[in-house]
């Protein structure tokens, strides 16, 4: 082959992009992708999430008292927004029309959130040990 007919990969790619209608070839100065290894063995920093609800946020909520959870809930919030703010519920009892309750259990008690038509209608704190049958879970016929 003649040296004049040999294309480098970047030249070929730039030519194909120009034929496809791109106005400028890709920049050679763009940095590596987030988290990609560098030649010196270190890694680039991963991009931060734009959501305020990070893993650390949910880890702190897992040990937060029930009263702190209740402060984050507002009447009229959608059920989706509620689970975004508080994380996954411990139990759920919902009907087909979007009404029911979600429970968020913690060490000091349970936050019960009443839902009507997929919107928060109210909250109630049930202290640890309150409510429930407290029985052994056996059947009534014994």
pLDDT of 98: 84
User: Does 98 fall in a domain?
Assistant: yes
User: Does 74 fall in a domain?
Assistant: yes
Exposed/middle/buried for 48, CB within 10 Å: 0-12, 13-18, 19+? Answer: exposed
For a pLDDT cut of 90, what percent of the chain falls above it?
Answer: 34
User: Does 114 fall in a domain?
Assistant: yes
User: Does 60 fall in a domain?
Assistant: no
**Would the pLDDT of 58 be above 70?**
yes
User: Does 77 fall in a domain?
Assistant: yes
> Under a CB-based contact definition with an 8 Å cutoff, are residues 14 and 26 in contact?
yes
| Digit-coded pLDDT (tens) for 103-134 | 999 999 999 999 999 999 999 999 987 655 44
What is the torsional sign of CA 29, 33, 39, 40? positive
The mean predicted confidence, pLDDT, of the chain is 75
Judge if pTM exceeds 0.75.
no
User: Does 13 fall in a domain?
Assistant: no
User: Does 135 fall in a domain?
Assistant: no
Q: How far is residue 114's CA from residue 95's CA, in Å, rounded to a whole number?
A: 12
Instruction: Give whole-number Cα distances, 34 to 41, 50, 51, 53, 82, in Å.
Output: 14, 15, 18, 20, 31
Q: Considering its fold, how many domains does the chain have in total? A: 1
| Digit-coded pLDDT (tens) for 34-45 | 556 666 666 666
**Would the pLDDT of 19 be above 80?**
no
Range of the domain at 121: 69-127
Structure tokens at 67: 């009263």
Phi and psi (nearest 5°) for 38? -90, 165
pLDDT of 116: 95
For a pLDDT cut of 70, what percent of the chain falls above it?
Answer: 57
CATH number assigned to the domain comprising residue 116:
3.30.1450.10
The neighbouring-strand residues paired with 43 are 37
User: Does 45 fall in a domain?
Assistant: no
């Amino acid at each position: 082959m003649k040296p004049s007919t040999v294309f480098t990969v970047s030249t070929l790619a730039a030519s194909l992009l120009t034929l496809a209608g791109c106005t400028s070839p890709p920049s050679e100065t763009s940095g590596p992708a987030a988290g990609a290894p560098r030649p010196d063995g270190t890694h680039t920093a991963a991009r931060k999430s734009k959501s305020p609800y990070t893993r650390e946020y949910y880890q702190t909520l897992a040990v937060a008292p029930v009263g702190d959870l209740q402060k984050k809930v507002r009447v009229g919030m959608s059920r989706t927004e509620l689970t975004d703010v508080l994380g996954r519920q411990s139990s759920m009892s919902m009907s087909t029309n979007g009404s029911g309750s979600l429970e968020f259990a913690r060490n000091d008690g349970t936050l019960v959130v009443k839902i009507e038509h997929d919107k928060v209608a109210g909250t109630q704190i049930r202290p640890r040990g309150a409510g429930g049958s407290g029985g052994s879970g056996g059947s009534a016929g014994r």
